[in-house]
A and B are shown apart, each in its own frame.
Chain A
Amino acid sequence: MRKLLLGLGFLLLHVTAQADSVLVTLEKDNAIAIMDSQTDTLLKTVPVGQRPRGIALSPDHKTLFVATSDDNTIKMLDAETFKELGALPSGEDPETFAVSPAGDRLYVSNEDDSQVTVIDVAKRKVVQKIAVGVEPEGIAVSPDNKWVVSASETTNMLHWIDPKTLKIVDNTLVDPRPRAVAFTADSQQLWVTSEIAGTLSVLDVKTRQLLKSIKLTVPGVTADKIQPVGVVIDNAHRWAYVAIGPANRVAVINAQTFAVEKYLLVGQRVWNLAFSPDQKKLYTTNGMSNDVSIIDLDSHTVTKSVGVGRYPWGVVVKP
């Protein structure tokens, strides 16, 4: 009997250890919601600071970075206990940022100052401020660490920054109001969403030129509601997913043919997306309906929407 209980205990521990945590910033609740990925239920919410938006994990998954916009800082939290480890000098009103593949640097978009702030994480100091176009928003570092790309919403431009020299090497014009940028896992392509144009641009990283422009249209939904925001591409480079804001849909795009295969109905005003570590699930933050929708990626169906708190914005999944 004792052995059986011990065995059960180990099994439980194993199961618990396997569960991933889905971490969601709640813009209005000034907190992070923590969801269990096995049961897809809300476990708890932890206060974090004023107006949290961008959220990312360090490559070793031990540190959680949260942009608390109204505190004008990026907070560093212990990813297990959610205790505050420190705050980074992000500049005014940080919203989106990207972590370098080694986890040593953070690249922060400062929308109001039209600049990108580069932070040394270990020293917690600003390395450099790079002047970019008006209202920089989306930012990403290529997995091979060769490029940092910042997208300026008002200038409609992508700025290609060399992470070694921290200088802008090239600029590419894209469709109006570029919002989010994402590299493919092989660093060969960059996918960009344009909020006003309702398009998705795929760029070849080598030439930094447009490969394909994809126009998003949801039958029956007016064009003004087609405002693509978050974009993610799976590691196998088979599928890309785009959150289309007030259209309440996530577009499922064949990453090889660039054909939009499906539009999945999720909650209201879907902002950002995150894969589960095994890439079998996709989590969406729905800003207006205060919930997270969960998409099963084998069947491409929305299985559940879970209430998390007010104005969910950013999402990351911790293994």
Chain B
Amino acid sequence: MSFLHYWRAMWGIIGRELWRFIKQRERFISALVRPLIWLFVFAAGFRASLGIAITPPYETYILYEVYITPGLVGMIQLFNGMQSSLSMVYDREMGSMRILMVCPLPRWFLLMSKLIAGVAVSVLQVYVFLAIAWGYDIQAPWQGYLWVLPALVLAGLMLGALGLLLSSFIKQLENFAGVMNFVIFPMFFMSTALYPLWKIQESSTLLHTIALYNPFSQAVELIRFALYGQYNQTAFIYTLVAFIIFMSAAIVGYNPSKGMMTSKKGAE
């Protein structure tokens, strides 16, 4: 199998995903509307609060909407990861997954391409969101907008891999509501996306521990630090390790001989 073969397959998958994204304008708008409502409505209510105490990477007091922005960037990527997982289930139901899987390329490569395609879409969404936030006076140093790119790629890969892993469990599209209730919401709310760790600790030690070990928190912190031109090593390693674990599990999950589909079929 030549390199060109791999290359074409990968671009085929990414191209399809980007094309889908651009074509589905509602999806593009809805992906933006969600975090923007959080920013303009939810965060606006807390704007009046007289500043959030200084925690790294911030060097001074910030308004709540400044704090929540990296969390909402994470939210875009989390929903995107889950959306990709949804589209995998849809593809499986429609039969296009079969076409993809019979392609004479390793399964891990196909899944990885699918994942990269999802990340590319989420990065696009994030930059549009950050541009709107800039107009709303939420401005990071300009270098931060470059530094955040690798952080977005890693966070996107980790959350996308989680989506892939989940999609290997979900058989039908209807089950996606469960993913919303049991994965997306707990991951988002029990993280540092909305409140800093010290604030969570004030209310509950258990919640603090969950938020601390929640991989989504670490992805958000990685993004938050990168946006202010700083490197958070703990968050980087944590996100990377979580990505490797989720991706490996997803690859196993999609293996017809060992995967989740087999065990589920057996259960039927």
Residues of A within 8 A of B (CB): 219-221, 225, 247-248, 265-268, 289, 293-294, 301-305
Contacts and interface: CB of A to CB of B under 8 A. Distances in A.
Residue of B54, B60, B62 contacting most chain A CB atoms (<10 Å): B60
Contacts of A303: 59-60
Contact of B50 (A247, A302, A304): A247
B48 A267 contact: no
B61 A305 contact: yes
Contacts, number: 38
Nearest to A286: B61
B171 interface: no
A294 B59 CA distance: 10
Contacts of A267: 51, 61
Secondary structure of the B contact surface, majority rule: loop
A304 B47 contact: no
Given A220-B48, A248-B50, A305-B54, A265 B62 contact: yes
B48 A305 contact: no
Contacts of A289: 61
B212 interface: no
Contacts of A248: 50-51, 61
B66 to A, nearest CB: 9
A265 B59 CA distance: 12
A304 B51 contact: no
B50 A293 contact: no
Given A220-B48, A221-B48, A265-B51, A304 B61 contact: no
Residue of A220, A221, A266 contacting most chain B CB atoms (<10 Å): A220
Contacts of B139: 301
Interface in B198-228: none
B133 interface: no
A175 B139 CA distance: 37
B60 A304 contact: yes
B48 A266 contact: no
A305 B63 contact: no
B48 A265 contact: no
Nearest to B44: A220
Interface in B40-84: 47-48, 50-51, 54, 59-63
Nearest to A222: B48
- 8 A-B pairs with the lowest CB-CB distances in the bound complex, closest first: A220-B48, A305-B60, A304-B59, A302-B60, A248-B50, A265-B51, A265-B61, A304-B60
Contact of A268 (B47, B50, B63): B50
A247 B61 CA distance: 13
Contacts of A301: 139
A305 B47 contact: no
B54 A265 contact: no
Contacts of A304: 59-60
A302 B60 CA distance: 7
B260 to A, nearest CB: 49
B151 to A, nearest CB: 22
B137 to A, nearest CB: 9
Nearest to A304: B59
Contacts of B61: 248, 265-267, 289, 293, 302, 305
